[in-house]
Structure 1
Amino acid sequence: MRRPTVCAVLACSALLLLSATACTATGPGRDTESPSRPDGVTARAGSATSVHVMWERSTDDRAVTGYEVYEKGAKVKTVPGARRMTDIDRLTPSTAYTFTVRARDAAGNLSAPGRAVPVTTPAPTPDDRKAPSAPARLRGRAEGTGAVRLSWGRAADDTAVISYDIYQEDSRVHSVRGTATTARVTGLRPGTVYTFTVRARDAAENSSGDSNALDLTTAPGRGDGPSTAPTALKATATRTKAGVRAVDLSWTPPRTGGGGEVREHQLFLNGRLATTIVWGAVPPKGTATYRFTVGEPPGTRYSIKLRAKLPDGKWGDFSAQRTVVTR
């Protein structure tokens, strides 16, 4: 048998190496497609030193895993793919900025930048120490499975209200300019109860107290059953006859159907599990009540919510959140 020459062997080796390299770089498993660019980018000054940036969802052949916010070409913030808004802080008062947003997928592919949006932070008011009044008459409605629309009465301030901040439980989830009295909050989960409040803010970063709390429940998704959240939760700060600070709770346990009973509830304080409320005998019919004592000084703020253990052994949905300040 005739053997190939050295040159032929080297040529074959080079060809194999080139083929292997090509497969590694452009193999069928590699994601090379970039997400679509984010549309609807807006930027509004939230104070003399902050700007609230929002955008619409991008699409990708696999999944968008994050968004990058740029100011004149320099990256200033990265957020997860589930979020489509963020606050850029520590800015300079009375300064012009320009923001763009790019989407990113798991392979690191970046979209083209969205539309560049200019915004100018207002002048500071260092001698302003008076907070705006709280927004009044917060009301709203759920829009489908993943959004709500809110409206409120205008707040008053000795200088000017620069922005309104929307809170879901204890987290700020959205901001609008001070001339607006409506907002649409998106990215919510189907069949979930949310508790919203609104605060007014001026250019000196003075923030008002909370508006009234508003509970809204998004529509259930396809195939979802009824909500399993406790309803009508009320929390009242009180003192026992011995002078001990306490909080009284009342609520309506969820209806489970099938003749099962709810015998346990988990009580969460400030987002953490505090205790499990268990009825050893027959659970209460209709309204349930519970009192717990607290050792912190007067003026301590608690965020409270409940969830029930269902007859099948699983924990149900969380109730709306209530906030109480100890006396």
Structure 2
Amino acid sequence: MRRHLLLVHRSLALCAALTLAASCGRGGTGDDDGRLPAAPTGMTAAAGSATSVHVMWNAVAANPRVKVYEVYRGTRKVTEVPASEHMVDVTRLAPSTSYVFTVRARDTAGRLGPAGQSVRARTPAAVAADGSAPTRPGRARGRVVGSREVELSWSASTDDRAVVSYDVYQGSSKIHSVGAAQTATVVTGLRPGTAYAFTVRARDAADNVSAPGGTVRLTTPGSDDGRNTAPTAFRAASHRAGGAYYLDLSWVPPRVEGMVTEYRIRLDGQAATSLVYGGDAPREKASYSFYAGRDAGVTHRLRIRAKLPDGTWGGWSAERTVTTGTQGGSRP
């Protein structure tokens, strides 16, 4: 009995010494609930070609929030994506091979949660000298499911070898993929009150892509004034180098589902340039400089907007004014 009491007293003393109440089995306060991120749910995997697999999962709610998702092939981590993304194409795979994938969420405190349910996908055989694309998907249809999602369906394509996957486009942007066994899907992460034009293309193992099927035009209900999709903290300044002036822009990318890789810059009311990033697009703060001429004292008006992962253009940033050859930054 005495030994039991000593153990209890030591445990209480240790608990009192800890700074986080949650460590002693009580719910913490503030911005940290003391728990690991949950395991991602809704895992799917489908071959996209003979050397790639498209992996998808549902977002995880956590406190602190999720920072990245880590994607594993077997026990090996093959890539990670920011918390705003819930899908990835795992590439450089071997043809005719079965793979097992899992995903784990890591929060902003660096804590790694458990893996979600494992999913298996098999890449098809590589096809040599295949120059024939699949036929275009037919009977394209769609319906609005909610203010941020729609359901699309189509009839299957044919190929001289085999169709491997279907790619869903909004305008000219690929925004979704499913395996060849699917001829319907739900597209999420859309904007309320927005008109969309969806098409579907079929892909074979040699990465030949069909012509697009019929266009499905749908408008999501609700309203969107563009404010939530506009870049924020937009600033403009100028500097001189080599006898010329350059405009220096900085901004925070919009918080949307997926990565923003393309921007349009508007200069003095006219389209000036487009900025396209690769897979390393900035997520927290972006910057860009471009040539503005050799004359000092020229005033310019600037705005910027982003092409969103759903294939539409977001709202314009606040307008900034900057004059070449002057001290200081932009003015509203």
TM range (shorter): 0.5 to 0.7
* 1:159 maps to 2:151: no
| Contact preservation (8 Å) 1:82, 1:187 | no
Distance 1:37 1:96 in 2: 23
Cα offset, 1:83, TM superposition: 2.0
Cα offset, 1:65, TM superposition: 2.9
Q: 2:40 aligns with which of 38, 41, 44?
A: 38
Cα offset, 1:150, TM superposition: 0.4
Partner of 1:120: 122
Distance 1:179 1:306 in 2: 32
Distance 2:314 2:56 in 1: 33
Relative to structure 1, is the Cα distance of residues 130 and 92 closer, same or farther in structure 2, using a 3 angstrom cutoff? same
Relative to structure 1, is the Cα distance of residues 305 and 40 closer, same or farther in structure 2, using a 3 angstrom cutoff? closer
Which of the two has higher C-alpha Rg?
Answer: 1
1:116-195 superposed matches below 5 A: 116-195=118-197
Relative to structure 1, is the Cα distance of residues 305 and 146 closer, same or farther in structure 2, using a 3 angstrom cutoff? closer
Distance 1:63 1:201 in 2: 36
Relative to structure 1, is the Cα distance of residues 44 and 34 closer, same or farther in structure 2, using a 3 angstrom cutoff? same
1:1-327 superposed matches below 5 A: 22-23=18-19, 31=32, 32-220=34-222, 224=223, 272=264
Distance 2:88 2:178 in 1: 12
Q: Deviations over 1:266-314 (max 9, x none)?
A: xxxx96357958xxxxxxxxxxxxxxxxxxxxxxxxxx989999xxx99
* Equivalent AA in structure 1 for residue 129 of structure 2: D
| Contact preservation (8 Å) 1:147, 1:185 | yes
Cα offset, 1:55, TM superposition: 1.2
Partner of 1:233: none
| Contact preservation (8 Å) 2:167, 2:203 | yes
* Equivalent AA in structure 1 for residue 80 of structure 2: T
| Contact preservation (8 Å) 1:191, 1:227 | no
| Contact preservation (8 Å) 2:51, 2:92 | yes
Q: Which runs of 5+ in 1 are unaligned?
A: 1-17, 229-269, 278-303, 315-327
Q: Deviations over 1:35-81 (max 9, x none)?
A: 21111211111110000111122221342232111111211121222
CA RMSD of aligned residues (A): 3.5
* Equivalent AA in structure 2 for residue 202 of structure 1: D
Cα offset, 1:88, TM superposition: 0.6
Partner of 1:234: none
Cα offset, 1:226, TM superposition: 8.5
Q: Deviations over 1:127-170 (max 9, x none)?
A: 21111122233221121122110011222211111110112233
Q: Which runs of 5+ in 2 are unaligned?
A: 1-13, 228-261, 271-310, 320-332
